[in-house]
Amino acid sequence: MEPVTLDADGLRLVAWEQRHLADLARIYADPLIERFLVMPLPWSGAARERYVETQRRHWGAGNPRWAVEEDGRLVGSMALTKSFPGEMTITYVTAPWARGRGVAQRGVRAAVAFGFKRLGARRIAWDAIVGNHASRLAALRTGFTVEGISRGGVNQRGRSRDCWIGGMLPGDLRGPDNPPAHYGTLKKQAAFFSSPQPVLETGADGLRLRALRESDLDDLAKSCADERTQRFTTVPRGYTRDDADKWLAFTRRRREEAETVLYVLADANDRYSGSMQLSLKEPGEAEVGYHAAPWARGRGWTTAALKRVSRLGFEELGLERIEWRAVVGNEGSRRVAEKAGFTVEGVRRRLRHGHDGRVDQWIGSLFPEDLG
């Protein structure tokens, strides 16, 4: 087929020309693009020299390839590729100088409408390397359903990477005035998880909160092997440094997936002194979990950390409710929760598996106004 130009709410999706290539080279040199793009980099040599002709051949095979322009300047790329009979896959890139202006959303709407109406697609698939929160947000905003994670689903320059996968059916496309439910929360969370984890001051003397590091793992192992921690949490029995190594990898992966926020309580000497974790649930909700290292108990630090992380959850992650749970009898955890403003609502019988079977748990909640 011959190239088709599309208008997209202030953008134009046009066939590639030589005049676009200097700006495209700048796009491909951006560190964020390099992090999430799967193509060979650096972009040079024959791949660059033959780029325009390659895109024309894709058009000839029924696989549209567009340069996305705004006011005549390149601001991104958009492509549809046949994958299975009746199915196409969409890929898109936004130039660093055009981020935050809805370029991907506007281009995606035009491209998927073209795929459904002009090319007869019955499903359009989307994927992105886990951690590419901007791509995921644009997909959700335009009507894609994120269907899960494909483990090792893409090969990025010789390395297997997990990727989010999703799809859109005819009728799913969302217009600019039809955001999905909880879009404001999703947008806040995408911004938070796209940035380096901030260090938090707590107001408690000698205590700040930061990300978990490899240098913390010996102290983490000691803390989790403590009898009290073993009794009231689900950490592995006989906790070892190997368990701590696995936990670090797990929490980093969960942060990339936008599922978990983990903070370390660090003392004035930057020593590990406990953990504070928010696990995101339904949009607007999260569950908090925490423990203090034996050498840091009795200072009020866990309460200060819980208040600060809860405030981050409400202000930065768009949370509306934070839930707390603890094994019945864990008076220390309960005192911390109540001092931070949580209301204990009751007991859930045999709610969670413990080391010796199901155990009863206290359950409580915190709302923004409870923080004071």
Q: For the segment 249-297, what is each residue's pLDDT rounded down to a tens digit?
A: 999 999 999 999 999 999 999 999 999 999 999 889 999 999 999 999 9
Burial class (CB in 10 A: 0-12, 13-18, 19+), 34: middle
What is the average pLDDT value for the chain, to the nearest integer?
95
In CATH, what number is assigned to the domain containing residue 159?
3.40.630.30
Residues 204 and 162 in one domain: no
Distance CA 97, CA 274 (A): 41
Kindly state whether residue 141 falls inside one of the protein's structural domains.
yes
Q: Are residues 305 and 362 in the same domain?
A: yes
The verdict on 85 and 159 lying in the same domain is yes
Residue 354's pLDDT is what?
67
Task: Name the domain count of the chain.
Answer: 2
Residue 351 scores a pLDDT above 90: no
Q: Is the domain of 164 the same as that of 226?
A: no
Q: Are residues 115 and 234 in the same domain?
A: no
Q: Is the pLDDT of residue 372 over 90?
A: no
Clarify whether residues 176 and 314 are in a common domain: no
What's the pLDDT tens digit per position in 288-346? Answer: 999 999 999 999 999 999 999 999 999 999 999 999 999 999 999 999 999 999 999 99
- The answer on 297 and 265 residing in a single domain is yes
Strands (E), the chain: 6-8, 11-14, 65-70, 73-84, 87-94, 123-129, 145-156, 159-168, 200-201, 208-210, 260-266, 272-280, 285-292, 321-327, 343-354, 357-366
Q: How confident is the model at residue 357 (pLDDT cuts 50, 70, 90)?
A: confident
- Quote the pLDDT of residue 353: 65
Instruction: Give the model's confidence band at 356: pLDDT under 50 very low, under 70 low, under 90 confident, else very high.
Output: confident
- pLDDT digit string, tens, across residues 100-151: 999 999 999 999 999 999 999 999 999 999 999 999 999 999 999 999 999 9
| DSSP for residue 64 | -
Separation CA 309–CA 288 (nearest Å): 9
User: Among positive and negative, which fits the CA dihedral 354, 344, 300, 250?
Assistant: positive
**At residue 217, what are phi and psi to the nearest 5 degrees?**
-70, -30
Range of the domain at 104: 6-180
| CB-CB contact of 129 with 159 (8 Å) | no
Structure-token match 């938070």, residue found: 192
Q: For 44-68, how does the pLDDT look when each residue is reduced to its tens digit (9 = 90+)?
A: 899 999 999 999 999 999 999 999 9
Query: In the prediction, which pLDDT does 139 show?
Result: 98
